[in-house]
Amino acid sequence: MKLSIIGLGLLGGSLALDLRKRKYADYIIGYDKDPVHSAFAKQVGIIDEVVTFDEAVTQADIIVVAIPVSAVIKVLPQILDKISDNQIVLDVASCKGVICERVKYHQKRKRYVACHPMAGTENSGPWSAISGMFDGKAFIICDAEDSDEKAVVEVKKMFEVLNMNPMFFNSFNHDIHVAYVSHIPHVASFALALTVLEKEKNEKNIFNLASGGFKSTVRLAKSNAEMWTPIFQDNKENVLSVLDTYIEKLNDFRQLLVTGDTDGMDNYINQANRVKKVLNK
């Protein structure tokens, strides 16, 4: 199996590491618009060969597009224009509706499988690639009925090699769900980081006093703007809807604090504790 990775960052690099390690891919070629990324990926063995964009599209059995959402929207039709009837294209972006709509009527649409591995870290770049990042996580295939059945089976096999658990969603329903479980947590983390930086002018105190709760909550604030701004923009309506509810819940707690309603605070926290049942499933 010859694999091509377009976008040699955290996701693309980590995929390449484990798909080679677990003997799924025999040879991996890669392209990144940043030559430093490409050179590093080649130097440390994430990929076997640095190629041009056109070569990355035409010289592999499976093409993994691991670039920001806004870039996927732009280049995916170009990729589908160039591929043969035997190649498979998949992307790993976290917004799916706008991407699937963009190529809905493309003549090679069936060669494309819309994917979202629910894994990652706050870090970016090929130097952040890590083995085992996908183990035990979910991967989502969207609008599977619009893809060739054999292509879906092969992509499912690829992610199962990474020890991931398959799920199938409509692309627009997917975007609603990830707004809750992925996109809003990042907004909350960015806002908390800005709040602390604004209130605590002596940054040394932040690091001296920071404990597990703060560090785990604000960890996502280290995420890359180049990746997340397009995600928020392309999933704008869902993010706004969830953000309105989140702000409403914050205001509810603020009012309980203003009025000194300790019974209300107990109830607020106890209601939130119900999430344990969801997370422990």
Q: What percent of the chain has pLDDT over 70?
A: 93
pLDDT at 266: 96
pLDDT band at 62 (very low <50, low <70, confident <90, very high): very high
Please give the CATH number for the structural domain made up of 174-279.
1.10.3660.10
pLDDT of residue 23: 94
- Fold matches, 2-169 and 174-279: no
Please report the pLDDT score of residue 203 as a whole number.
Answer: 64
Domain ranges of the chain: 2-169, 174-279
Place of tokens 């995600």: 231
Residue range 2-169, CATH number: 3.40.50.720
Alpha-helical (H) ranges within the chain are 10-21, 35-43, 53-58, 69-82, 97-102, 149-161, 171-178, 184-199, 203-209, 212-218, 225-234, 236-259, 262-272, 275-279
pLDDT at 205: 65
Please, which residues have CB within 8 angstroms of residue 246's CB and are 6 or more apart in sequence? 184, 187, 188
In angstroms, the CA 247 to CA 232 distance is: 17
pLDDT category, 210, cuts 50, 70, 90?
low
pLDDT, average across residues 16-43: 96
The CA distance from 9 to 133, in Å, is 13
The alpha carbon dihedral of 164, 33, 130, 49 has a sign of positive
Find the mean pLDDT for residues 204-227. 73
pLDDT at position 161, please? Answer: 96
N-terminal to C-terminal alpha carbon distance within the chain: 36
The average pLDDT across 230-244 equals 91
Mean pLDDT in residue range 150-168: 96
